[in-house]
Amino acid sequence: MPESIGNGTATAGQPKTAVRWNVPFLLMLAGLWIWAVSINYPFWDTDPNYSFGFVVPPLVVFFLWKRLGSEPESFWNFLPDSGKRSALTPLLLILPGFALFPVEVYRIEYHQSGIVLWAINLAMVAYTIAGARWLGGGRLLSRVLFPVLFFLTAVPWPAKVAVPFQQMLMTGVAQVVAELLLWCGIPVSLDGAVLHLTKGTVGIVEACSGIRSLQSGLMVSLAVGELLGLTRARRTGLVGFAIGFALVSNLARTFTLCWIMEHQGDQAMHHWHDRVGNIAMYSLYALIYLVGKLLEPKGGAPWPDGSGSWTERARRLRWTGLPDIRPLLAVFAGTFVVVHSWYFVLKLHAKPQTTPYFTLRPGGETNGLVRMEFDEEVWRRLGADSGEQIRKKTGLAPLGIVDAYHLFWRPSPMSKIALHHRPDVCMPGNGWVQKGEVETVNLVVDGQPLRFLVFRFERGETKAVQVWGVWRNGQPVEMDYSNHLTALPEKYRPIPSERHLMGVELVSLFIPYQGNNIPAEALFRTLMPELFSYHAPVAESR
C-alpha cells in the first residue's frame, strides 16, 4: 500500500520526503501555461497568419503523452528520488517576480507587444524546462524539450521582425510574378507590391505575402517530423522542403489570380481569391505529410502500449529536488491582483471617446473630390469602426492630386493596435522608401491648432509627403521614432493608465510629387482645412 507523505505519496521502499511545495510548483506551472495561451489567443482568433495556433497546445500535450508514454519501465527507474534539493534559494527565485509588474502593464497598454509576448512565452518555456530538469534530470529534460519548444511556433513574431520580413516577401513576390507574366506575354507594370494589368490591379497585401504559408508550413513540418519519428537530419530536410514549397505555392497562387484578372476581370479574380488561396494552403500541408511519409523510418515511431500508471510514474519523479517556489508564486499572484485591480478602477472612471471628432468634408466631382473604397482585405485588417478615403484633384498639388483618409476606433482590442497602421510601417509594403527623419508641423483645422507628423517617401521617380496625425480621446499621442526596440514608437511609462480604454483617431494627407517640386508647408495649411473638419466636445477638446 502506498504511504501518504505530505502533499504526495511514496511507494514502499522509497524514502519518505516532505513534498509540501510540489503544489506551489504545479500551480506556478499551470499559471504560466494558462497565461501564455491566453495572451496568444487573441492573435490566433483575429489574425489569419496565426489561426493555426489553436492546434498547437493540443499537439504539445499529445507529443508529451506519446514520448513519455512510450518509454519503457527502465526509463522511470532511472529517476530515483535522491532527496537532494535544488541550490536555488527562494530569494534568488523571487527576483523575476518583480519584473511582472512592468511586463504586464506594457502588455496591456500596448496590446501585447511582440517583445513582451515573447518574453512571457520564453519565461513559461524556461520554467517548464527547468521543472523537467529538477524532477527528472537530463533524461526527462531530453524527452520533453521538443514538445515544449514546439509551442513557440504558435507565438506571433515581433513586429520589428515580422513587418520587414512581410514587406520583403510582398515586394519579392510581386517582382517574380511580374517577370513570369511578362514571359507569358501579359503586359504588366509594377508599383512596389501592386501589379497593374490591363483589366485591373492586383495588390499583394500582408495576407498574400506568403508569411502565413511559411509560418504554418514550419509548424506542420515540425509536427509531421515528430509524429513520424524522423531523424534530426530528415526533420531538417522536411523543414527546408516546407519553406521552399511555401514560397513556390504562394507564387503560384499570386500568378493564378493575376492570370484570372487579365483574362476574366476583377469580379472573377475576387470570386476565386479565397478558393485559390485555400487550394495552395492545403496542398502545402498534404505535400509536407507525403514527403514526411517518404522519409519515415521502417517500423515508424514508437507509441504508448497502454501499460503503466501515469500516477505511478509521477510518484517516481524527484519531487524533493524542487526549489521552494512559494515566495515566487506569492509575488506573481499579488502582482497580478494589484495590476488588474488598478486597471479595474481606471475603467470605472474612464470616459472614452465613442464618436470621431474629424470628418472629411462633403463634396463630389464638381469640386474635384472622388470618394474611394478601402480594399476589403485592408479594411478587415484595420478593424476600424469607421473610415473615409477621398482623392482630390487640385491645381495646387504638384501632380494635380492629393489623397486623404480618416479612421476611427472605439475602445476595443483593435483600437490597441491602431498604431500598427502608420506610414513608416505600411508604406514600404507598397514599395515606398522612407527618407529623412520624421518632422512635426502645427496646422489649424476649424480654429483648433493640431499637431501632425510629416513623413517623406520615394518610389522610383515619384516622391511623396505624408502629413499624418493620431489622437487618443482628442489628445495627440506622443511618438518617439528614435526607439528602435519597439514597433510602437509611443512613449512608455510603466504605470497603468487609461490609454487602452480610449478611442483612437487617424488622419492622413498624402501629396505625391516629382523632381525638386517639394510641397511647401503652406500647401498643408491650405489643404488640411479644405478636406477635413474638426469638432470636439468642449469638455474633451484640447
Q: Give the residue from 367, 175, 347 showing the smallest Cα distance to 254.
A: 175
Confidence band for 268, pLDDT divided at 50, 70 and 90:
confident
- Could you tell me the pTM of the whole model? 0.81
Confidence band for 292, pLDDT divided at 50, 70 and 90:
very high
The top-scoring range by mean pLDDT among 102-106, 114-118, 151-155 is 151-155
Q: Mean pLDDT in the chain?
A: 83
Confidence band for 311, pLDDT divided at 50, 70 and 90:
confident
| Structure-block grid coordinates of residue 94 | 523571487
- Which pLDDT score is estimated for 20? 55
Confidence band for 64, pLDDT divided at 50, 70 and 90:
very high
Q: Give the residue from 466, 443, 470, 463 showing the smallest Cα distance to 455.
A: 466
For residues 315 and 318, give the distance between their C-alpha atoms in angstroms, rounded to a whole number.
Answer: 8
- Which pLDDT score is estimated for 22? 82
- Contact residues for 221 (Cβ-Cβ < 8 A; gap 6+): 235, 238, 239, 241, 242, 288, 292
Neighbours of 292 (CB within 10 A): 24
Helix orientation angle between 211-227 and 266-295, rounded to the nearest 10 degrees: 20
- Which pLDDT score is estimated for 366? 58
- Which pLDDT score is estimated for 484? 56
For residues 475 and 148, give the distance between their C-alpha atoms in angstroms, rounded to a whole number.
Answer: 44
For residues 244 and 294, give the distance between their C-alpha atoms in angstroms, rounded to a whole number.
Answer: 17
* 11 pLDDT more than 60: no
Confidence band for 9, pLDDT divided at 50, 70 and 90:
very low
Report the amino acid identity of residue 98: F
The CATH 3.40.1000 portion of the chain extends over: 358-540
CATH number for the domain running over 358-540: 3.40.1000
Yes or no: say if 171 and 209 are a contact pair by the CB < 8 Å rule: no
- Which pLDDT score is estimated for 12? 41
* 210 pLDDT more than 80: no
Give me the residue label for grid cell 512571457: 120
Query: Which pairing describes strands 448-459 and 433-434: parallel, antiparallel, or unpaired?
Result: antiparallel
261-284 residues labelled b (16+ CB within 10 A) or e (exposed)? bbeeeeeebeebbeebbeebbeeb
- Say which range, 180-189, 263-272, 338-347, 524-533, has the weakest mean pLDDT: 263-272
- Say which range, 170-174, 339-343, 444-448, has the weakest mean pLDDT: 170-174
| Structure-block grid coordinates of residue 525 | 495649411
Average pLDDT over residues 351-377: 80
Give me the residue label for grid cell 480618416: 406
| Structure-block grid coordinates of residue 323 | 526549489
* 80 pLDDT more than 60: no
Q: Is 105 exposed, middle or buried (0-12, 13-18, 19+ CB in 10 A)?
A: buried
Neighbours of 523 (CB within 10 A): 20
Confidence band for 339, pLDDT divided at 50, 70 and 90:
very high
- Which pLDDT score is estimated for 106? 84
For residues 150 and 301, give the distance between their C-alpha atoms in angstroms, rounded to a whole number.
Answer: 18
Q: Please give the distance of CA 279 from its chain centroid, rounded to a whole number.
A: 24
Q: What is the pLDDT of residues 226-256, one digit of tens each?
A: 999 999 999 999 999 999 999 898 888 888 8
- Which pLDDT score is estimated for 191? 72
